[in-house]
Structure 1
Amino acid sequence: MAASDKAKSAFDTFKAAFEAEPCDLIKCEELLGQLKLLVFSSGSAGVLSGAGGDAKEHLLVREMLEMACFLSIRRRDLSGFERHVSQLKMFFADRQDLKPSEQKYLILGLFLLHLLAADRIGEFHTELELIPVDEAFQSVYVKQPVQLERYLMEGNYAKVLGAQKDVPKAYYAFFMERLIETVRQKVGASLERSYENLPAQQAAQMLILADVPALQEFVVKENERKAREESDDPMGDLTPSLSRRAPLGLVKWEVRDGRLHFVKSAQKRLELPSVDLMVNAIGYATDLERIV
C-alpha cells in the first residue's frame, strides 16, 4: 500500500473514532499521533511547510489538523490547540489548490475566544487584524468574540454572563467557562480594592457564583492562585492585567461570620533600580547614535 493510501486509511480510522459516541479521547490521541507519523514522514515531510505534497495530501493534512484542534479542546489541552491552530494558518490562507475550509472561521473564532479568556488582549487584536474585515464580520463565530471583548472593555459583565446561553457551537462552552473565570478574577480585584469586607451572599452574587458554599470554594482557589502568582514573580514584574494587579501586597480572602473579608498584608515597596536604569538608557542612546 502506498504511503498516501496508508495515511488516508489512518485518517479514516481517526475520524471514525473521533465521531464515535461515546468518544474515547485517549484512543483518538493515539490514533492522531500515528497519523501524524505517516503524514509527515519520508516524502510527505514537506507537506506542513508547503514544500511538498499535492492537493489531496494538503486537504488531508488540513482536515487532520482541524480535527486535532477540536480534539485538543475536548481534552482541554490548550497548548495543543494553539499549536494546531498555528499549523493550520498556512492552509487557511488563499490557495489555488484548495477550496476554502468550512471550519476556518469556527476555528479562528475559537482561537480568538481562547486569547480573550486567557487575558491576552494584545494578541487578540493582532489575530483579529489578520482576518479580512469583509469576511470576518459575516461569521457569527468571529463576531461573538469581538462583541465579548467590547463587553469586557465596557465592564458590562452581565452581558458576558448572558452570552453563555447563546454560544454558537458546543466547543465555545469550554472557552466561555474560562472567560467567566477571568471576569470573576477581575471583579474580585475590584472588590478587594474597594472593601475591607462585605456580606458573603452579596459577594457571591457579584462574583457570579451560585451561593456562599460556591464562594468558599472560589476563595480557596483564589488564595492559592494569588500565592502561586506571588511565588512565580521573583523579578518583581510590575505589569498589571485583567486578573493581575501591580504588587501592593498579598490580599488573603476569608469567609467568616457571614461576610467575605479581605485581609491585606504589608504592602510591597516598589523599588526601582534607578542607577541601573540610567546607565542602560545612556547605553541605548549611545548605540542608537552609532547606528544612525
Structure 2
Amino acid sequence: MAEHEVKQILRDLDHLQPATLSQAPNLLSRAKLALLKLDALVPDADTTPHHLHFGAAVLEHGALVSIRLKDTDAFTRYYQQLQSFYALPAERWNSRVGKPKNQAKVTGLYLLLLLSVGDYAGFHTVLEGLEVSSGKGEMEQNEFIQYPVRLEQALMEGSYDKVWGETKRERVPSEEFGVFSEVLINTIRSEIASCSERAYPSLPISNAKNLLFLDSEGAVVQFAQARGWVAKDGRIYFPQQEEEMLAAQRDVMSSSSMVIENTLGYARKLETIV
C-alpha cells in the first residue's frame, strides 16, 4: 500500500505545472509518511535498492520543487537529507537503474546557493568532497557542477560582466539554476551599489544602468528609490556620500577655525611679551 502511494505521488510530482506547484508541499508530506512506513526515508542496512530509489526520488523532487518555490531553507533541508543517500556506495543501488539521477543537479544548485550567500569556504568544502567521491574528471565533465565553478572563478576575478553573461537564460543548465542566478545577480548588484555609494557623490543614470546590469533607466530609478538615492536631472545622487562630504567639510572648517584661533592667541601673547 505504501509503495503504491509513493509511486502515485512521484507520478503526480512529475506532472506538476507552474499553476499547480503549490500542491507540491502536501504531496511531499504524504510521500515522506509513506517512506517512513517502508523504512526508506533514512536509509539503513536493511533498506532495499528498490526502496532506496523511492527515498532519493522523493527527496530530490522536494529539493527541486523548493527551488522553484524559492524556498531556500526547505531546499537546504532536502539537500542535507539526501546526503545519507548520496554517500552510499555504488553496490547498494540497483545496477540497472544506477545512483540517484538528480544528484549532480541538486549538488550544483547547493553550490550556487552557497555562492549567492557568499559562503566561499562552504563552497570549496563541497567541491573537495565531490572530488574525493566522484573524481576530478567526472566533475569537470558535468555541466551542473561546472556552472557554479565558472561563476565562482568569475566572482574571484571581479569579472562581474562574465557572471552577468553566465546568468542569461540561454546559458543556465536548467530552470532551477535560473532562480539562483537571479538571487546571485541581486547580491552582486547590491555589492556594486554599496561600493558606488562610497566612491562617488553621483552618477549619470545611463552609467548606473550599465554598472548595475539593469535593463532600462526606469529600472535604475526604481532601484535608486529602493536604496534611498535621489534621481534627478539625469543623475543618481548618493545622500550618504553627500552627508559624509559635508561632515568632512565641517571637520576641515572646524580644524581651520581652531588653527586660526590658536594662531591669534599666540600672536597676542607675543605682543604682551614685547
TM-score range, shorter chain: 0.7 to 0.9
- 1:246 aligns with none
1:104 partner letter: Q
2:117 partner letter: A
Question: Within 2, Cα distance between the matches of 1:253 and 1:21?
Answer: 40
Secondary structure at the residue paired with 2:239? strand
Matches within 5 A, 1:170-189: 170-189=175-194
User: How many residues of Structure 1 are paired with residues of Structure 2 in the alignment?
Assistant: 232
Aligned mate of 1:255, from 227, 231, 234: 231
Bigger fraction of residues in helix: 2
Secondary structure at the residue paired with 1:102? coil
1:128-180 CA deviation, whole Å, 9 max, x = no partner? 11102232222111111111111111111111111123111121111111111
The structure with the larger Rg is: 2
Question: Within 1, Cα distance between the matches of 2:54 and 2:19?
Answer: 21
- 2:34 aligns with 38
Question: Within 1, Cα distance between the matches of 2:220 and 2:109?
Answer: 29
How has the CA–CA distance of structure 1 residues 39 and 254 changed in structure 2, closer, same or farther, with 3 Å as cutoff? Answer: same
Pairwise CA distance, 1:9: 2.3
Pairwise CA distance, 1:12: 2.2
1:102 matched to 2:83? The reply is no
Question: 8 Å contact 1:73–1:81 — kept in the other structure?
Answer: yes
Which deviates more, 170-179 or 185-194?
185-194
Pairwise CA distance, 1:23: 5.1
- 2:68 aligns with 74
Matches within 5 A, 1:82-231: 82-95=76-89, 96-98=91-93, 99-132=98-131, 133-165=136-168, 166-221=171-226, 223=227
2:109 partner letter: L
Secondary structure at the residue paired with 1:131? helix
Question: Within 2, Cα distance between the matches of 1:47 and 1:184?
Answer: 40
How has the CA–CA distance of structure 1 residues 201 and 54 changed in structure 2, closer, same or farther, with 3 Å as cutoff? Answer: same
Structure 1 residues not aligned, in runs of 5+: 224-251, 268-292
How has the CA–CA distance of structure 1 residues 49 and 254 changed in structure 2, closer, same or farther, with 3 Å as cutoff? Answer: farther
1:170-220 CA deviation, whole Å, 9 max, x = no partner? 211111111111111121122112101111121122100122221122224
Question: Within 2, Cα distance between the matches of 1:80 and 1:21?
Answer: 20
Structure 2 residues not aligned, in runs of 5+: 246-274
Kindly report structure 1 stretches of 4+ aligned residues shifted beyond 4 Å.
Answer: none
Question: 8 Å contact 2:6–2:54 — kept in the other structure?
Answer: no
Which deviates more, 13-22 or 193-202?
13-22
Aligned mate of 1:10, from 6, 13, 29: 6
Question: Within 1, Cα distance between the matches of 2:28 and 2:122?
Answer: 28
1:69-124 CA deviation, whole Å, 9 max, x = no partner? 11111111110111101111121124221132221111111111111112222211
Question: Within 1, Cα distance between the matches of 2:34 and 2:195?
Answer: 52
Question: Within 2, Cα distance between the matches of 1:169 and 1:22?
Answer: 15
1:56 matched to 2:50? The reply is yes
Pairwise CA distance, 1:255: 1.6
1:43-92 CA deviation, whole Å, 9 max, x = no partner? 62x74153653222211000111111111111111101111011111211
Question: 8 Å contact 2:32–2:41 — kept in the other structure?
Answer: no
Q: What percent identity do the matched residue pairs reach?
A: 29
TM-score by length of 2: 0.78
Secondary structure at the residue paired with 2:236? strand
How has the CA–CA distance of structure 1 residues 130 and 220 changed in structure 2, closer, same or farther, with 3 Å as cutoff? Answer: farther
Question: 8 Å contact 1:116–1:149 — kept in the other structure?
Answer: yes
TM-score by length of 1: 0.73
Question: Within 2, Cα distance between the matches of 1:12 and 1:73?
Answer: 22
Secondary structure at the residue paired with 1:24? helix
Considering only aligned residues, what root-mean-square deviation do their CA atoms show, in Å?
A: 2.1
Question: Within 2, Cα distance between the matches of 1:220 and 1:10?
Answer: 49
